[in-house]
């Protein structure tokens, strides 16, 4: 159960107990109010009964006196006395009707009997007063039975009302005592349950927060394998623990990525350092040749004898060749820099791939002779459609590939083949350069197209080169909308496959 549900359940329990206590309090207050009303009603009824009995007694005495005077003296009753007598009887009747208002369903039979007796008694008294001056009227006021019967019914009603009031007061008192006990029990229970719920909530929350604190400390100290567990909460605390665990995973992944990035940066830095060492060697070699042959020719010109013109011509050719080699190396570095900064542009034109490949094959003749290799070309190039691309970059790709094939092959064979796949606007030219040289394993194949990287660290020392040629080939192929791949086995040679579309790619930058 989540912390929110625990708190909500605890709050609802406390509110229910509080509501019970408040309801019990109002119930007790209502009972006390009813008790007070019952007491007041009983007191009022008793007072009315006493007043009515006293008034009936006084009126009875007065009528007996008047009846005696009427028989003995023959006095007459004036109008004022009659009105006063009628008012007294009306007052008695009103008192009895007030008792009716205080009666309940239980006392209704007693009141009805009282009303019948009192109506008869008061009617006879009223008739006595109104016919008092009539000599023919014969009164019977000496008969006490109606008066006694009325008083008896009045006392019965009073006793019944008192008995009911006592019973009601007893019930109300028991209710008040019960509500007081319920209030006390509810109050004590509320305190007890609140303390119990608070204790368990505090213990649960404290235990969960301690685990969260311990997990935060362990994760903060670098123990990213630590996991916060044991929190039986599917709500906020569980989500917080899951967030800590997820943060630990992400931190571990981030640190691993940083470590890999650092390793890659270190590897790239080492590769660039190795490249600088290789390129400095590659730059010094033609520069040393240029400087050495230039100084030698300068010294020969200072000799008094005749200049050996054929030898002079041969030395100049070596200087020119070394200069071109140096220029090609510098161009490779500049081209790679342009490619990495996105400033390399294609100068597209229509050209025949067979003509460019023939020129490349002629240029490779000295290197082939030097390594004792044989270049095999297709017998017929007529099936190749014209290309619309950058002829210079196309030439550079195959110069690099054939140079590498010759460099890593001795007294072997180098094969150049071409074919066409597709037709029309979707035609592709498929070129393959295969050699019978030293070959490569899968790990070496995976990194030879990276800049500043060669198949082995000893490659430059054994075969020369800077590690830029294949990287430039890959970038040129991608710029022209094509692709390059390699398949090789150690000791069995390598095959490079270049696929180039016959038309320039729409996304390739071009300068007319």
pTM over 0.85? The answer is no
Of residues 4 and 257, more confidently modeled: 257
Residue 24: half-sphere exposure toward Cβ, Cα within 13 Å: 19
348 torsion bin: left (phi>0), alpha (psi -120 to 50), beta (else)? beta
Helix (H, G, I), strand (E, B) or coil at 497: strand
Of residues 251 and 440, more confidently modeled: 440
Confidence of residue 246 (pLDDT cuts 50, 70, 90): confident
Sign of CA dihedral 196, 199, 202, 205: negative
Q: What is the pLDDT of residue 336?
A: 66
Summarize pLDDT for 492-510 with one digit per residue, the tens: 899 999 999 987 655 454 4
Which element (helix H / strand E) includes 67? Answer: helix 3-72
Cα–Cα distance measured from residue 214 to residue 232, given in angstroms and rounded to the nearest whole number: 16
Q: What is the pLDDT of residue 33?
A: 75
Q: Pick from 42-56, 185-199, 378-392, 476-490 the range whose average pLDDT is largest.
A: 476-490
Inform me whether the pLDDT recorded for 461 exceeds 50: no
Confidence of residue 512 (pLDDT cuts 50, 70, 90): very low
CATH class of 344-501: alpha beta
* 387-390 and 374-376 strand pairing: unpaired
Same topology between domain 3-202 and domain 344-501: no
230 torsion bin: left (phi>0), alpha (psi -120 to 50), beta (else)? left
The mean-pLDDT minimum among 108-122, 300-314, 366-380, 455-469 falls in 455-469
Summarize pLDDT for 312-321 with one digit per residue, the tens: 788 788 788 7
Q: What is the pLDDT of residue 511?
A: 39
Q: What is the mean pLDDT of the chain?
A: 78
Inform me whether the pLDDT recorded for 216 exceeds 80: no
Compute the C-alpha angle 257/259/265, nearest 5°: 100
Summarize pLDDT for 37-77 with one digit per residue, the tens: 766 777 777 778 888 888 888 888 888 888 788 778 777 88
1 Cβ contact list (under 8 Å, min separation 6): 9, 232, 233, 234, 235
Please state the domain extents for the chain: 3-202, 248-343, 344-501
Summarize pLDDT for 367-422 with one digit per residue, the tens: 889 889 999 998 888 778 888 888 888 988 998 899 889 988 999 999 999 988 87
What is the distance of C-alpha 39 from the center of its chain?
66
503 Cβ contact list (under 8 Å, min separation 6): 388, 425, 427
CATH class of 248-343: mainly alpha
Summarize pLDDT for 136-179 with one digit per residue, the tens: 777 677 778 888 888 888 888 778 777 777 777 777 778 778 77
CA distances from 450 to 224, 261, 262, 356, 510 (A): 34, 16, 18, 26, 25
Inform me whether the pLDDT recorded for 91 exceeds 70: yes
Q: What is the pLDDT of residue 374?
A: 93
Confidence of residue 234 (pLDDT cuts 50, 70, 90): low
Sign of CA dihedral 449, 450, 453, 455: negative
Residue 237 tokens, joined:
């605390």
CATH class of 3-202: mainly alpha
């Amino acid at each position: 159960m989540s912390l929110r549900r625990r708190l909500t359940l605890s709050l609802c329990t406390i509110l229910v107990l509080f509501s019970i206590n408040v309801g019990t309090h109002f119930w007790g207050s209502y009972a006390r109010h009813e008790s007070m009303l019952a007491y007041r009603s009983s007191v009022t009824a008793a007072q009315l009964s006493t007043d009515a009995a006293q008034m009936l007694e006084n009126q009875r005495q007065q009528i007996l006196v008047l009846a005696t005077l009427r028989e003995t003296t023959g006095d007459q009753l004036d109008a004022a006395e009659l009105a006063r007598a009628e008012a007294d009887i009306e007052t008695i009747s009103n008192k009895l009707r007030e008792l009716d208002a205080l009666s309940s369903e239980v006392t209704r039979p007693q009141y009805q009997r009282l009303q019948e007796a009192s109506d008869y008694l008061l009617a006879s008294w009223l008739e006595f007063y109104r016919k008092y001056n009539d000599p023919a009227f014969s009164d019977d006021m000496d008969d006490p039975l109606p008066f006694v019967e009325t008083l008896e019914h009045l006392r019965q009603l009073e006793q019944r009302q008192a008995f009911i009031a006592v019973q009601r007061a007893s019930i109300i008192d028991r209710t008040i005592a019960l509500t007081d006990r319920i209030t006390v029990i509810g109050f004590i229970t509320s305190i007890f349950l609140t303390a119990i719920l608070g204790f368990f909530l505090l213990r649960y929350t404290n235990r969960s927060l301690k685990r969260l604190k311990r997990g935060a400390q362990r994760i903060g100290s670098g123990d990213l394998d630590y996991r916060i567990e044991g929190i039986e909460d599917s709500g906020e605390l569980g989500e917080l623990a899951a967030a800590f665990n997820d943060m630990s995973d992400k931190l571990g992944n981030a640190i691993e990525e940083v470590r890999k990035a650092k390793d890659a940066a270190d590897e790239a830095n080492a590769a660039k350092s190795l490249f600088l060492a290789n390129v400095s060697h590659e730059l010094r070699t033609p520069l040393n040749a240029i400087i050495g042959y230039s100084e030698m020719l300068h010294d020969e010109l200072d000799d008094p004898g005749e200049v050996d013109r054929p030898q002079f011509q041969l030395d100049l050719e070596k200087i020119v060749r070394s200069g071109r080699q140096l220029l090609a190396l510098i161009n490779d570095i500049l081209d790679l820099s342009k490619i990495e900064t996105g400033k390399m542009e294609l100068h597209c034109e229509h050209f025949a791939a067979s003509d460019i490949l023939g020129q490349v094959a002629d240029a490779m003749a000295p290197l082939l002779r030097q390594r004792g290799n044989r270049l095999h070309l297709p017998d017929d190039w007529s099936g190749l459609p014209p290309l619309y691309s950058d002829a210079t970059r196309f030439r550079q790709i195959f110069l690099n590939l054939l140079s590498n094939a010759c460099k890593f092959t001795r007294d072997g064979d180098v094969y150049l083949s071409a074919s066409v796949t597709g037709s029309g606007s979707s035609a592709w030219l498929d070129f393959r350069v295969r050699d019978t040289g030293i070959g490569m394993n899968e790990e070496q194949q995976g990194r030879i197209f990276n800049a500043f990287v060669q198949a082995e660290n000893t490659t430059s020392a054994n075969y020369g080169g800077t590690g830029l040629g294949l990287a430039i080939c890959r970038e040129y192929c991608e710029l022209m909308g094509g692709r390059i791949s390699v398949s090789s086995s150690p000791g069995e040679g390598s095959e490079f496959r270049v696929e180039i579309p016959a038309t320039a790619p729409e996304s390739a930058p071009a300068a007319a």
